[in-house]
């Protein structure tokens, strides 16, 4: 099944508990203010999405899969509402990512093809400050055991996480976004 066959779908609501005006979305939206004055709850009917508290896919991020989210502010620790969202396409191939200890692919490098709950334990790395995602879609977390702030990584080079609204964030665990989330 290709990513286009599944038709991801999320409905955003201005108020908590699915109240107020709504906006239905099946793909990326860089600025929700074009459709809603604010956004405090949503229902993900199909697929997976990453939501952001700033426009243009910046700021705090939260991964959403099928389900109901009646109040994200309490769940995400966000002081504000959702400002943009990105649809995560279903992917069924191999997963491969290189993680680097320092910015600009510097320092120690390790290649991952599977989830890693703690880079310090598995690779003796104290930080992950840049990466190159060759295959698949990944979630990276600032703390071991998939906790703390997260960042969605799709295929591409990430020389410096500061350029993606994650100033000073180091990542300590990473996991693949695979069929189990859909």
Residues in the chain, total: 182
- CA nearest 114: which of 50, 169, 178, 171? 178
pLDDT at 76: 56
Whether 72 and 80 have beta carbons less than 8 Å apart is answered as: no
Confidence of residue 2 (pLDDT cuts 50, 70, 90): very low
How open is the CA angle 137-68-16, to the nearest 5 degrees? 120
Is-above-0.75 flag for pTM? yes
Whether 61 and 72 have beta carbons less than 8 Å apart is answered as: no
Q: Mean per-residue pLDDT for 77-86?
A: 78
* Residue found by looking up tokens 């990430």 in the block: 158
| All structural domains of the chain | 3-88 (2.60.20.10), 96-177 (2.60.20.10)
pLDDT at 5: 41
Q: Where are the beta strands (DSSP E) in the chain?
A: 9-15, 19-25, 41-46, 48-54, 58-64, 67-69, 84-88, 96-102, 106-112, 130-135, 138-143, 147-153, 156-158, 173-176
């Amino acid at each position: 099944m290709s990513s286009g066959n599944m038709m991801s779908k999320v409905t955003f609501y201005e108020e908590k508990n699915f109240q107020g005006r709504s906006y239905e979305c099946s793909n990326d939206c860089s600025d929700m203010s074009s459709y809603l004055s604010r956004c405090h709850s949503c229902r993900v009917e199909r697929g997976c999405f990453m939501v952001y508290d700033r426009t243009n896919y910046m700021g705090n991020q939260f991964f959403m899969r099928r389900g109901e989210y009646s109040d994200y502010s309490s769940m995400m620790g966000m002081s504000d509402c959702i400002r943009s969202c990105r649809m995560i396409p279903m992917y069924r191939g191999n997963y491969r990512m290189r993680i680097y200890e320092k910015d600009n692919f510097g320092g120690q490098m390790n290649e991952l093809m599977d989830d890693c709950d703690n880079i310090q334990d598995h690779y003796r790395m104290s930080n992950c400050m840049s990466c190159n995602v060759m295959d698949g879609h990944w979630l990276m977390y600032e703390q071991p055991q998939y906790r703390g702030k997260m960042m969605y990584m799709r295929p591409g080079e990430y020389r410096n996480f500061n350029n993606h609204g994650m100033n000073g964030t180091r990542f300590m665990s990473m996991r693949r976004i695979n069929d189990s989330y859909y």
